[in-house]
């Protein structure tokens, strides 16, 4: 997924959403995903740190070119 150098976490989430929706459309998979459910159920993480603040820049988390972020399931309270 490509985002600008000084992108925020929110912009990364939007880019992920766009990328997955385009891939699903091309492959003919599930047409609708509930993103509200996904963001409520999973955290985006990088190097074991949750990307919790949507306004924070990716650079502040230490994310650079070709780094990988992953989804991790939120624990129930």
9-73 to CATH, choices 1.20.200.10, 3.10.20.90, 3.30.930.10, 3.30.420.40: 3.10.20.90
- CA 72 – CA 29 distance, rounded (Å): 23
Q: For residue 29, what pLDDT band results from cuts at 50, 70 and 90?
A: confident
Burial zone of 26 (CB within 10 Å; 0-12 exposed, 13-18 middle, 19+ buried): exposed
- Report which of 7, 5, 2 is spatially closest to residue 51, judged by C-alpha positions: 7
Kindly compute the dihedral angle of the four CA atoms of residues 39, 41, 44, 50, in this order, to the nearest 10 degrees. 120
Average pLDDT over residues 32-40: 92
Give the mean model confidence (pLDDT) for residues 56-77: 92
Q: In what order do the strands lie in the sheet with 70-73?
A: 49-50, 42-46, 70-73
């Amino acid at each position: 997924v490509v985002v600008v150098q000084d992108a925020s976490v929110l912009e990364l989430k939007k880019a992920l959403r766009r990328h997955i929706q385009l891939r699903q459309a091309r492959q003919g998979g599930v047409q609708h995903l509930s993103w509200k459910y996904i963001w409520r159920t999973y955290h985006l993480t990088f190097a074991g740190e949750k990307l919790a603040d949507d306004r924070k820049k990716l650079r502040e988390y230490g994310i650079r070119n070709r780094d990988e972020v992953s989804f991790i399931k939120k624990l129930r309270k």
